[in-house]
Amino acid sequence: MRCHVGPVPGFLLLGAISVVLSRAVGLEPGLVLGTLIAFRTARPLRPDEDGPAVALAATALTALGGTAWILREPLVAAAGAPGTFFADVVATALTATSVSAAANLVFALVPLSFLPGSALLRWSPGLWALFACTGGFAFVHLALQPGAATSPAGRAPSPCC
């Protein structure tokens, strides 16, 4: 089946608003709510295709977020001295990618009928639990306790969990 990745226009605005609001209440980095880009298929999926499609998307999202987080420090170091514009842009982009991937795994996989998590739960409860727990752990570690993942100079990281 042919598919492509494309933006979800309504959620682009919601994403920008959620970043501003989450930064206003002190979440660092800003939290992006909503799906900014999504896989789109040439035809609607049959019910038996929904679960595997969600599993494939969750796998890609987990790989993207994990890769961005693992490569963050080496790429930021290669981008220049800490605090320079380019190093900050690279750090922000990779952090936002990681946090957005974790948030999307957490919120999109809630098993409500209008969210993709319900199709994955019906198709494979074990796989749903794996992705939901992975996303939940990453979300708590990266967004809710960011000091546990990185610590600014001169401060000890806060304990996680």
Instruction: Transcribe 11-71 into DSSP letters.
Output: HHHHHHHHHHHHHHTT-SSPP--S-SEEEEESSPPPHHHHHHHHHHHHHHHHHHHHHHHHH
Confirm whether 156 is domain-assigned: no
33 pLDDT above the threshold of 90: no
For residue 154, being part of any structural domain is answered with: no
For 69, phi then psi, to 5°, come to -70, -40
- Residue 150, pLDDT > 70, answer no
* pLDDT reported for residue 14: 73
Task: Work out how many domains the chain is built from and give that number.
Answer: 1
The CB density around residue 75, as the number of other CB atoms within 10 Å, is 15
Q: Is residue 157 part of a domain?
A: no
In a domain, 106, yes or no: yes
Quick check: is 103 in a domain? yes
Half-sphere exposure of residue 3, counting CA atoms within 13 Å on the CB side? 12
> Residue 36 pLDDT > 90, yes or no?
no
Tokens of 1: 């089946």
Q: Write the pLDDT tens digit of every residue in 41-62.
A: 777 788 888 889 889 889 988 9
- What is this structure's pTM? 0.67
What percentage of residues in the chain have a pLDDT greater than 70? 77
Tell me, yes or no, whether 95 lies in a domain.
yes
Percentage of the residues of the chain whose pLDDT score is greater than 90: 25
Q: What b/e string do you get for 55-68 counting C-beta neighbours within 10 Å, with b at 16 or more?
A: bebbeebbeebeeb
> Is residue 79, in this structure, part of any structural domain at all?
yes
| Least confident stretch, 15-24, 67-76, 115-124 | 15-24
Confidence of residue 125 (pLDDT cuts 50, 70, 90): very high
Residue 120 belongs to a domain:
yes
Q: What is the structure's pLDDT at 34?
A: 59
Query: Cα(149)–Cα(160) distance, rounded to whole angstroms?
Result: 8
Supply the range of the domain harboring residue 27: 3-149
pLDDT in tens, 61-114: 899 999 999 999 999 999 888 888 888 889 888 988 898 888 888 888 989 888
**How confident is the model over 9-29, as a mean pLDDT?**
74
